[in-house]
Amino acid sequence: MTQADPPPPDPDAPRLTRELLLGGGLADMIARHLPHIRVLSADERRASLHAALAERPEHGDGIWLFAYGSLIWNPTIHITGQRVALVAGWHRAFCLRTPLGRGTPDNPGLILGLRRGGDCQGAALRVAEAGLEHELDVLWRREMVTAGYVPRWLAMTGADGTVFGHGLAFTTDPGGPGYEHELAETDMVRRLATARGELGSSAEYLFRTWAGLRAMGISDPQLDHIATLVRAWPAADA
């Protein structure tokens, strides 16, 4: 490789990038391959973003986001800090079908959603006030490309048991496209172990999330259980 040559691509780098989102690549990908799924227009995304900001419970030098899945290890936006947080009344679950990003229409993959009930430990990500709306626009191009999530401000508790702020979280919409109401464990494990799409495999998503949580000292027994089963599957991409 000469000095002028670009570096080779990193095979371990996430394929969902800030550049892809800013260029509209994710929306274009869905519209091209899944024409039956309605992609939100720029105006609809903007209205959703402004509605979320209008409900902002705290004002200061930035906001918190609550990350429970891939935002932990691939936020795609600029953050200024991170800490462990717990939200009550919600739990992470593989309840969202992905027939493109991490699967195919014939073998849809699965990604995490935040579903009612229980509690959830994850990462509170701090986004600075300067440039806030631009960073949230990048986030909306990722999470609100279709109407699969409902943005909510959730109270977040720190290690001392006190609420330190409210984080913007993308919770599941039970009536949204791709929502899986109930999945048998065997079907969940098979799909996580074998599904692969334009943005990588469902197994990669699972194991990166699992590793990201462990790096923060967070243990999710259900995720540990699923990871163990997927790792034992013959075709698992670990």
Whether residue 56 has pLDDT greater than 90: yes
Q: What is the pLDDT of residue 2?
A: 38
Which of 129, 143, 180, 182 is flagged as catalytic?
Answer: 143
Whether residue 234 has pLDDT greater than 90: no
3-state secondary structure at position 49? helix
Residue whose tokens read 């409902």: 150
Indicate the Cα dihedral angle 197, 202, 203, 207, nearest 10°: 120
Class of residue 139 by CB neighbours under 10 A (exposed 0-12, middle 13-18, buried 19+): buried
- Record the pTM: 0.91
Q: What is the pLDDT of residue 236?
A: 52
Class of residue 40 by CB neighbours under 10 A (exposed 0-12, middle 13-18, buried 19+): middle
- Cα dist from 19 to 138, 155, 166, whole Å: 9, 31, 28
Q: Which two tokens stand for residue 66?
A: 């609550």
- Cα dist from 94 to 112, 126, 222, whole Å: 4, 25, 10
Q: What is the pLDDT of residue 235?
A: 57
Whose CA is closest to 169, among 157, 187, 147, 153? 153
Q: What is the pLDDT of residues 18-39, one digit of tens each?
A: 999 999 999 998 888 888 888 9
Residue whose tokens read 């229980």: 118
Least confident of 17-26, 106-115, 125-134, 228-237: 228-237
Sketch out the chain's domains with CATH numbers.
18-182 (3.10.490.10)
Whose CA is closest to 69, among 163, 196, 193, 172? 172
Q: What is the pLDDT of residue 12?
A: 57
Q: What is the pLDDT of residue 238?
A: 47
Q: What is the pLDDT of residues 159-203, one digit of tens each?
A: 899 999 999 999 999 988 789 988 999 999 999 999 999 999 999
19 is catalytic: no
Q: What is the pLDDT of residue 6?
A: 37
Q: What is the pLDDT of residue 237?
A: 52
162-193 b/e with 16+ CB inside 10 Å = b?
eeebbbbbbbbbeeeebebeeeeeeebbbbbb
Banded model confidence at residue 14, pLDDT cuts 50, 70, 90: low
